Amino acid sequence: CAALLRRPPPPERVGRWIRFQIAAAMLGGMAGGAAALLFHAAPEVEYAYMTMVVCGWCAAGLAVSGAVPVAFYGFVVLFVAPLTAGWALSDNADALLVATLLVLFIFLLTTYARDNAQLVGRALRMRFENEELVQLLQAREGEAQAARERAEAANLSKSAFLAAASHDLRQPLHALSFFGAT
């Protein structure tokens, strides 16, 4: 995302980038979800540790793919659903509680992803609006500079005209004063 913010792709390629991010997030979710299936037979303490690691991994995934909520939804569901099912189907006394907490965790993460996407969207809109304002300001500054130069040129032209007119008007007066003196 940081690279896209520094140098966004052309508009015709944005859809491809989003589809790529969705596919990559879903593949990552499937890979992580497979761990829950592979380690389901592990002792309860180790399975609990793995659950904490998966939850941390999902929370970190929010920073990576949270700007595109669909990507994160695919990631977190494919990642945590097998783990939730593993806990729900286990014979542990607290299995349903842990499974319920994992469902709540999915809900909270998807809510954060939605809010994060809205925040990123606002930040991008503000950035593009600021860039447009800078371009508008530069254009207005150029217009003001051109108007200032035209005004200065008009002022110089006016001064030259008044100097020539003053000279042309003073010549006959001087001639009359010489004629009157003679």
Structure-token pair, residue 22: 């969705």
> In the predicted model, what is the mean pLDDT of residues 37-50?
79
Residue 5 clears pLDDT 70, i.e. is over it:
no
| b/e per residue 60-80 (b: at least 16 CB within 10 A) | ebbebbbbbbbbbbbbbbbbb
Question: For residue 14, what are the contacts with CB-CB under 8 A and spacing of at least 6?
Answer: 8
> In the predicted model, what is the mean pLDDT of residues 142-159?
89
Q: Report the distance separating Cα 19 and Cα 136, nearest Å.
A: 34
Residue-level pLDDT at 100: 92
> In the predicted model, what is the mean pLDDT of residues 24-29?
87
First to last CA, the chain: 94
pTM score: 0.61
Task: Decide which of 6 and 4 is more confident.
Answer: 6
Question: For residue 127, what are the contacts with CB-CB under 8 A and spacing of at least 6?
Answer: 5
Nearest to 102 by CA among 85, 121, 126, 117: 85
- pLDDT band of residue 52 (cuts 50, 70, 90) is confident
Write the pLDDT tens digit of every residue in 76-90: 889 888 888 888 888
> In the predicted model, what is the mean pLDDT of residues 25-38?
84
Write the Ramachandran bin of 8: left for phi over 0, alpha for psi from -120 to 50, otherwise beta.
Answer: beta
Structure-token pair, residue 153: 């040129």
Residue 59 clears pLDDT 80, i.e. is over it:
yes
